[in-house]
Structure 1
Amino acid sequence: MKSPLRMALAAASAATVLPGCSLVNASPPPPDDWTPRGSVSALVAFAPGGGSDRSARVIAESLNELDAGFNVNVENKEGGSGAVGWATFMAEEGNGNALLIAETALNTLPILYDVPFTYRDFTPLVMFAQDSRMVVAAHDAPYDTCAELVEAGEEEPVTTGSSGKTGADALVVAEFEKNGGEFSVVPYGSTGEVLTGLLGGQIDAAPAGAASVKPYLESGDFKALCTLTGERYDDPLLGDVPTAREQGLDAEVTIWRGVLAPAGVTEAQRDYWIDSIRAGMRSDTYRDYIETDLLLPADVAGEDFDAYLDDYDEEMQEVFR
């Protein structure tokens, strides 16, 4: 029997063969002074409501605020932990009016699964943010630190949740297992579902984004065990939470969020979008997003973003080896 991931990818490929052909043969190469006009798609390969969807809508709003003669519309095409959307986007080759809002799973998914793409099949534009994770547990859990959580996992598997098999939550579990703990992972569809599972006692601990867990820490429902950041958060509440490295664990998780174009776009199209995305990142919309979601601002573009992805991929190969 074919796996659900393979079946979803087959359906995506069948649905995009004809559009891919029409794009390649539709028109001559654009001029050097190319600018987009009309509707521009911003594809996100996950369902509405998650971190990837939010970042896509922030980037779309920031670009639309430039009032430059185009309108960016977010399109969600979820399935297969991102595989369906990314496979579909391959059919946009050469289309300067198509953008992809992606993150770390674009590196990790091809490492773990047989999919018809890697990050090298797209054109890096701008990495606009970095994100990490915190680990939380119920307020009455028997451990107070991530070091104690890993130690408990050395005795018997600790049950934790994950909002994806290849994203930031999975990276946290992989890092903790490299430090000697053993974990039984319950899959969920979103971070919200993971935290609901922790509230209901279905899991013992949960990795999640800082902005998502902060309200539960303020209410006293959860306690923070550690962050997976390089340094503590610059936040009145979260700044008191030590990093995993401070607790003696060799563990750190950083995920990237960025914008890519299809393969085959021209240099003029690539440069136009790099300049426009960077202009949008000077907006209050972008700044509020970074502050509210407790992200690290980033501005890595073009060839530098390409080199970053190469280095990051090597790191992920080591994590999931």
Structure 2
Amino acid sequence: MIKKLVTATAFCGLMAGAAQAQTIGVAMSLFDDNYLTVLRHNIQRHADDLGVTVQMEDAQGNIARQQSQIENFVASGVDGVIVMLVDADSGRAMSRIAERADVPLIFVNMLPANMDDFPAKQAWVGSDEEQAGELQATEMCRLLGGEGDAVILMGQLGTTGQRGRTAAVERVLQSEECSGINVLDSQTGNWMRTAALDLMTNWLSSGMQPDAVFANNDEMALGAIQALKAAGISMGDVVVGGVDATQDAMAALQAGDLDVTVYQSARGQGEGSLDTVLSIIRGEDVPQRVGIPFELVTPENVAEYVDQN
């Protein structure tokens, strides 16, 4: 059974409150990302359902651009702001901009570095990145029988997803049950399929042939699969895991190419971030951390997760 987001801020009285919040600024770190595209579309869909106007901006992976977008939102008089950060450490600067203007701010997905020092009218809606890495690594260790050579494809360095997921994978691999798994190399593929394909190709060209690929997200896992298949390696000989449970990953699971992914609810995060900012605008008390759990997806239960986001 898929867990559904139920927060103290959600639907009761929402339609009445939405009418008071004409415009919400949404600053996304990158439009050109599979999961973040789904997240963005869920925010837009939920806003349309509630009669709320959202202004979407793409930071294109640039911290300075994103900060400027937040400043422009505030200057234009938006009622609230939702931000998916380019970098976790930039959260403090974004918080200060919103706090000075007394504009509610919700961080979505990426956990900001200043999470423990939030001012009033600010909160985070997202998922525990370490939980994703732990679920992925534990299942992959089981499939490997606790032995083999592995590589780790990391997301963009400095992001909470990269930090949390990688740290959890490394911690699981240090456990007694998984101590026979040897990590040959860990490098960043910047969350991108093509970058991961190139990196995996380079590893294979150097003579490296891992038994497992721990990827911080599905896009990189899919890039690694492309490289492995191009090199003539049977996917039955390599255990590959990702995170996010994107539709492309679901298809790869069903085809037998991908072995494991972890469901991250773009719907839960998108709806939750909008519901939370609207609740703050209405003057309601909200938790400053709204957690959306990750869930393990395998070939055995993949049918339950298709089309969930």
TM-score normalised to structure 2 length: 0.47
TM-score normalised to structure 1 length: 0.46
